[in-house]
Structure 1
């Protein structure tokens, strides 16, 4: 039974369509179960013994809470009518991933393949579904965190996996990302370290340079970052991380700027500050931006390094410099040092 759609409404916070519908166990076993390992953004399966009772209840024909599916689709193509949504979802079901309900689908599949009672799973039983069709993975991630943070905060490893799970297709963006493993084969010209890009993305989402701190218990830091993401205006300013990474990539055609962005503290500060100044900075050519970064580095070299925490101040000052780019880009080192001293240095 293909998914039958009943309602389609707008989520005006994340700019998505929220759709309700129904299918049956047969469709779930054949088409939805294979989606549960599609992205590493999704939670790992829990111990099957936790869902032993649910498997038995499924065989006894219970009704389980709706499964939530998600699609990413260009904003100009978001369906408006029920019929249009129905056609899109059923034709493109392999492009979906499970936003909520991985454990339930796994239990359903095990009830089908390994029944514990003397009855087969009734594949005609109804399975209700919710579907989010969203224009942005950033906004969808925001919704995932608002839904899941209260019950299980994201771990640091889970955050790392967000970018490992092909949220962004860097090949399409003409960007080369190197992992620790691939670096063994030699440095690729004009490539970025994946760990730096991940930290850049987290900084962008949370609107904060404080995304790693060994003075805070890891689980609490994870909760703090998740809360910062929820509190940021990621769903309101219309800026996507793909816009940011393309801008970084373009500037990095210059070897001096590439080296600057290879410093993880610089790229973190840039990724936060650019949210305030993107419209200004995107209009710059490489030489204009390089000239201003030269001034930034000359000014930074005037700091008394023995009195500051270098990594923290580089993040904070690059954030300050980029976020206030329209007012500081054309001043000299001494005036910029005065700005740092008056407004940015702790």
Structure 2
């Protein structure tokens, strides 16, 4: 996959910006990045779009900047000339899409029907925008389309917000969601950059949805593991679930049959998407043990350990449904 698309997927949300004053573009982009969303699609709905893209491209290299609402070949040229790293169109205009491709651009055309999606695939594209998402059938439609179009990925935009975005992101074919709910116009006008950062952080928390799913206890041997797990099982009326290396008491604790990672044991932190969690935690200075990474058949990470122990505990991230399957 294209490196820019990989970055978009790891971020999970592409903020869609409509800005009237190019002088506000850089502080706005920095507010997004501080909030954990270092990407932006600046729409060609205002005269300030081209200059805004140029300023962000030059002064905020950490932000993946793209151009949206691109309707003409001339706008493709303006966007690329300003430094846009990707082009997004609201609908499927074959002439504009072909022109963007001829310029070597990463183009994500707007589609809402299977016919438009097939036209895009015919031009060699495997990522398209789904717009307007909510009005065109929402996440249910994309999940239905995922069967016949098993090589296609979507960037749904339109009517998406913190409350419903995980309905889309739960579909494995959804690359990321586009939206503007975290960059409300009044916040831009008032230059409330901290308010925008706060909304971005709220969206990131909702995407990751961290929860402790179990605590691992290092036992000296199998007998002690069985004894402790049995006690937890009896006290909290949860299933006693032995396996080759450990004994689970429901999903509360995992009693390891011998020394393992962590001085005391480990803590499993569940998340909706491990790859996105790794991306965000690396931005916060954490490092991961790549030898511990487990992936599914599509290459998505399902489990990985942090390198550092915290309070004598090793920590690992796990996709929550994976843990249920393991139990």
Q: Flag the structure with larger Rg.
A: 1
Give the TM-score normalised by the residue count of structure 2. Answer: 0.23
* Higher RCO structure (Cα 8 Å, ≥6 apart): 1
Greater helix percent: which structure? Answer: 1
Give the TM-score normalised by the residue count of structure 1. Answer: 0.22
